[in-house]
Amino acid sequence: MAKLSIRDLALQNKTVFLRVDFNVPLANGGQQITSDKRIRASLPTIQYALEQGAGLILASHLGRPKGKWNAEMSLAPVAVQLSKLLGKPVQMASDCIGPDVPKPGAGEVVLLENLRFHPEEEANDTEFSKRLAAQCDVYVNDAFGTAHRAHASTVGMIAFVPQAAAGLLMDKELQWLGKATRNPDRPCIAILGGAKVSDKIEVIQNLAKVVDKLLIGGAMAYTFLKARGEATGKSLVEDDKLELAASLIRELGDKLMLPTDHIVTEEFRAEAPNETVTVIPDGKMALDIGPATIAAYEAAVASTKTIIWNGPMGVFEMKPFDKGTVALALAVANSGAVSVVGGGDSEKAIKSAGVSDKITHVSTGGGASLEFLSGLELPGVAALTEK
């Protein structure tokens, strides 16, 4: 069912509780933000609410303070940076509940202190949820990256507000991930990489119902190849998943594309001597897909209309074993297809290839996007009001 959007709400003179994802990386004892990407991602929703005459209470977690105050995980530096980006004051609250939390007037912004300074947040405590909800007239969730967590600020407090809507960023995530996995333009392919089959079992099984081709790369490919009886040398293999991999090979049939050649080396280090092989010899490990596999995967990408990508093709953080991932990133960017890329390593991969601006949608939620691609219902989405 479609969920209520912030665009569906009357916000004039309303106090809006906006759950954002300000879980930014910090340095220098929590004083310096090293990337404000997540703050910038929230700006369209914040600015929209302010333009509509709302007073804004912003709430987020930061890090893992384990339910206790931790000065190195305070959101105070975020308030300073957000104020600069908005060009207006952002009032920093000393807590996220209680009498010290100011009530914003129309056009004003208050940032609550780290929700996870209270253990009740992650415990989805009912009383804590009520206290959060008592501060607002309406609730908006724009933190897709936390939508797979049933916490007080993402699920619990929604029972105590009259309306709960998706923010603009959340809307965009649901739109593109939903289209790619439920109603894609065809042909549709998925490119899956990463280290372990066990991390992607549900994704593979769910996408197999949707896509026309499934391209496998990364270390997880070698569990499949060993299950098929091929030599894998010292490559990373999940021996306890060989039976599962064999059953997936039978189930997927011609849909499944696996590497046919590999870049192998004797040791796991940058610039280690390497060679291209079709059969992995004993004593060597595969750290990237080879040129013939790249060419086959590029051809599949070039002839499709929808691409779902989650996970790198090799050890892309370590040259020269990034070639497969970078080549696929360029192929996806130049394909003209609708491309939806999962968060985490996949996002880093397209950045390293310099093609972020040519991808249709890059998800802001690593774990959340993975669960969505697995076909699981995200608690933070399910709790929102239906249209």
Which H or E run includes 37?
helix 37-51
- Within 10 Å of residue 87's Cβ, how many Cβ atoms? 6
Q: How far are the Cα atoms of 51, 93, 117 from residue 136, in angstroms, in the given order?
A: 18, 15, 20
Catalytic residue flag (residue 241):
no
Own/partner contacts of 31-40, CB < 8 Å, gap of 24 or more, are 31/77, 32/77, 33/77, 33/78, 33/81, 36/81, 36/85, 38/145, 38/364, 39/78, 39/81, 39/82, 39/85, 40/85
Catalytic residue flag (residue 233):
no
Chain-centre distance for alpha carbon 383: 19
Catalytic residue flag (residue 40):
no
Choice among 3, 19, 38, 213 that is catalytic: 38
Q: Which residues contact 367 (CB under 8 A, 6 or more apart)?
A: 145, 148
Choice among 342, 344, 365, 380 that is catalytic: 344
Choice among 67, 130, 179, 196 that is catalytic: 196
Task: Tell me the Ramachandran region of residue 283: left when phi exceeds 0, alpha when psi lies from -120 to 50, beta otherwise.
Answer: left
Structure tokens at 259: 């590497």
Quick check: helix, strand or coil at residue 347? Answer: helix
Choice among 30, 63, 367, 375 that is catalytic: 367
Catalytic residue flag (residue 67):
no
What does the alpha-carbon distance between residue 194 and residue 205 come to, in Å, rounded to a whole number?
Answer: 16
Taking a C-beta distance cutoff of 8 angstroms, is the pair 345, 311 a contact? yes
In the chain, what is the straight-line distance between the N-terminal and C-terminal CA atoms, in Å? 8
Taking a C-beta distance cutoff of 8 angstroms, is the pair 226, 232 a contact? yes
What does the alpha-carbon distance between residue 242 and residue 76 come to, in Å, rounded to a whole number?
Answer: 49
Which residues does the annotation mark as catalytic? 38, 196, 344, 367
